[in-house]
Structure 1
């Protein structure tokens, strides 16, 4: 029993805290005072107060700040999308999919014309052209009809299982030991607690490692946890389109939310890079260059800071809108507030 509840501790020689022990939670997260891990407690309190909602901050595998009900489960909206790409990587590793560039039509979909060339990569990068006028790879469109094609291909035709069972399989993400359990609604959006979403973030930050096991080869993160949409890719044309397979929507339209993806999006993560709409600055000017985010409707977002060994999971937080390159945007100001806790004395 002691072994079951004790955190898993491994040494990872990466980043500025190369000598620090990195912890992976057991049944629950271990907690540490933020000052013990080099953080400014007062600045961290201000960050949490500004953000609101429910959330937790993890450094080196320890929870250093939490607010709101940690066990409450709620909808993470589009923040679940990188989980779909993670499942794609497992499918490739298991030999179920030949690679990210395999056409999804090979899994029995009655796709017609240009749509027959849609690949998993196109779906993960929002460049598929599904329910849009352009062929695959020709334009960017944040597309919640295409995401339904993505997740339905994975769950129903690749793994052939219920989402919760597929994700929590002992050979996949079961070892993460989700404390409050995961649930998927009818649209396959994830219902989870902040402390369990933080486990996903910690798995991603550690590039497929959990404790002393490499659950997913790190090469998938080396190759695909990076901006993958070309920075010069044009925006989809304004046009009336239809959903040819009748899949329905994940929540939004076939061209909605944002035009900022080219240069900063890849396999459903958002990256701190320059892009088509902001060539002279990063997505979030006050965050480190290696910052990664998941962004979901209603302030259901998470932050991954690999170099600082920090993740933040935030449900219903005040993140504002994605306004790439804008220093005065709410999202950038929240990240700036977080950085003041990480770098005491930062202006």
Structure 2
């Protein structure tokens, strides 16, 4: 009896040990189901987009779900894309749009033309930003007033040409685009200020900048865009608005797919790199984000707004951002501190007052998508900190 009793006790002990061991072990199935975390990296933009779940890039899924739900309530919204750590996290289309839809992105075109200017400058084809634009605009293109010889390439980049202009008024975009000769229309305007002294938003000025770039590189603007920018970052389809049959609208005439707008934003987030290739110099990125005027004013959720080389900057959030901003709610919104790019496009045609539409789209981006990244990163950091051994515990001597 005594021997049997000891064996019974030993078997119970063995069973309990095995049970405890199985409780401590990690379930292989749970390991397989756990998604790997994706760190930020410089991606090759010429390759197809890779996707990720929000948790893999430290984004809060519930906040992104709210963002998509809010986006779905905006009648004119057509796309919302979120890229973090180089991965496409959210991609939603509305109103019959899909990934092949070309979006008329209006003044996002300006940021593209600014980028092309930077590439041409870096290559030495447009060496001096302070050269007068009359070096590139000859009599075959337009008759130029003597005073316009004071306008430089830099002035066109920073909206400080000094030309008399009110973008939304009778001397602005509508009359310009409907004129018989849009280039001559610009040069027929007198100077209202000394070039370089006053900011005045002017689509025609950027159109002229596109002509300057084309003259400098000896290619049409679409061809140069395809060869120097779009091709290297994987953009295969781009549609430009024709003007006079001889040029394209460099101020607001580009149509792109939403995924390709994300490629463009990611190029800037990656400081001009695609994989191992430096397409745009880092110095151009830095120069482009220097403010022409002190950050001021607000629009919807944006605060501390200013302007650089054809990009808007915004300093009023927790993390500074910059954005390509097109009429009616076309946005490529970049937040470097969060490794985040957000794209939104709308169907703006026929909307009489676009300000509420633009504010609604910005609300989705700034109040929902950005916090999904910010709070997700904070949650990840708190989780990592909780797993780390206490620094205090390491300083306590073991008992003698």
Does the alignment reach a TM-score above 0.5?
A: yes
Secondary structure of residue in 1 paired with 2:342 = strand
Report whether the alignment pairs 1:336 with 2:367.
yes
Query: CA offset at residue 184 of structure 1?
Result: 1.2
Query: Which of the numbers 296, 302, 323 marks the counterpart of 2:326?
Result: 296
> Are the equivalent residues in 1 in contact too, given 2:107–2:324 (CA < 8 A)?
yes
- Paired residue for 1:10? none
- Paired residue for 1:176? 233
Secondary structure of residue in 2 paired with 1:295 = strand
Query: CA offset at residue 119 of structure 1?
Result: 1.1
Secondary structure of residue in 1 paired with 2:312 = strand
Query: Which of the numbers 212, 221, 234 marks the counterpart of 1:163?
Result: 221
Which deviations, in whole Å up to 9, do the C-alpha atoms of 1:213-259 show, x marking residues without a partner? 112221111222332x13399xxxxxxxxxxxxxxxxxxxxxxx9xx
- When the two structures are aligned, how many residues end up with a matched partner? 286
- Paired residue for 2:355? 321
Secondary structure of residue in 1 paired with 2:81 = strand
Which deviations, in whole Å up to 9, do the C-alpha atoms of 1:107-140 show, x marking residues without a partner? 1344324321111111111110124422212222
Query: CA offset at residue 25 of structure 1?
Result: 4.0
Task: Give, in whole Å, the separation in 1 of the partners of 2:360 and 2:345.
Answer: 19
- Paired residue for 1:252? none
Which deviations, in whole Å up to 9, do the C-alpha atoms of 1:184-219 show, x marking residues without a partner? 111241111000011110111111100111122211
Which deviations, in whole Å up to 9, do the C-alpha atoms of 1:25-78 show, x marking residues without a partner? 444211110111110112112223323421211111110000011221121100
- Paired residue for 1:230? 293
Secondary structure of residue in 2 paired with 1:31 = coil
Secondary structure of residue in 1 paired with 2:203 = coil
Query: CA offset at residue 90 of structure 1?
Result: 1.3
Query: CA offset at residue 332 of structure 1?
Result: 5.1
Cα RMSD between the aligned structures? 3.2
- Label 1:18 to 1:27 Cα distance change in 2 as closer, same or farther (>3 A): closer
> Are the equivalent residues in 2 in contact too, given 1:114–1:136 (CA < 8 A)?
no
Report whether the alignment pairs 1:198 with 2:232.
no
- Paired residue for 1:248? none
Query: CA offset at residue 310 of structure 1?
Result: 0.8
Report whether the alignment pairs 1:136 with 2:195.
yes
Query: CA offset at residue 24 of structure 1?
Result: 3.1
Task: Give, in whole Å, the separation in 2 of the partners of 1:335 and 1:190.
Answer: 25
- Paired residue for 2:339? 309
Which deviations, in whole Å up to 9, do the C-alpha atoms of 1:121-179 show, x marking residues without a partner? 11111110124422212222111222221122222x1223233321121x54421011x
> Are the equivalent residues in 2 in contact too, given 1:25–1:61 (CA < 8 A)?
no
Report whether the alignment pairs 1:127 with 2:185.
no
Q: Which runs of 5+ in 2 are unaligned?
A: 1-36, 72-76, 166-191, 243-248, 349-353, 379-400
Q: Which is greater in Rg?
A: 2
Query: CA offset at residue 289 of structure 1?
Result: 3.8
1:1-347 equivalences under 5 Å are 20-51=40-71, 52-68=77-93, 69-109=98-138, 110-132=143-165, 133-155=192-214, 157-169=215-227, 171-178=228-235, 180-186=236-242, 187-188=249-250, 189-227=253-291, 229-231=292-294, 264-273=306-315, 282=316, 287-316=317-346, 321=355, 331=362, 334-344=365-375
Task: Give, in whole Å, the separation in 2 of the partners of 1:107 and 1:72.
Answer: 36
Secondary structure of residue in 1 paired with 2:210 = helix
- Label 1:342 to 1:289 Cα distance change in 2 as closer, same or farther (>3 A): closer
Task: Give, in whole Å, the separation in 2 of the partners of 1:101 and 1:261.
Answer: 31
Task: Give, in whole Å, the separation in 2 of the partners of 1:303 and 1:102.
Answer: 31
Which deviations, in whole Å up to 9, do the C-alpha atoms of 1:284-315 show, x marking residues without a partner? xxx34421111101211110011111101111
> Are the equivalent residues in 2 in contact too, given 1:115–1:135 (CA < 8 A)?
no
> Are the equivalent residues in 2 in contact too, given 1:291–1:306 (CA < 8 A)?
yes
Secondary structure of residue in 1 paired with 2:271 = coil
> Are the equivalent residues in 1 in contact too, given 2:136–2:216 (CA < 8 A)?
yes
Query: CA offset at residue 181 of structure 1?
Result: 1.2
Normalising by structure 1, we get a TM-score of 0.73
- Paired residue for 2:74? none
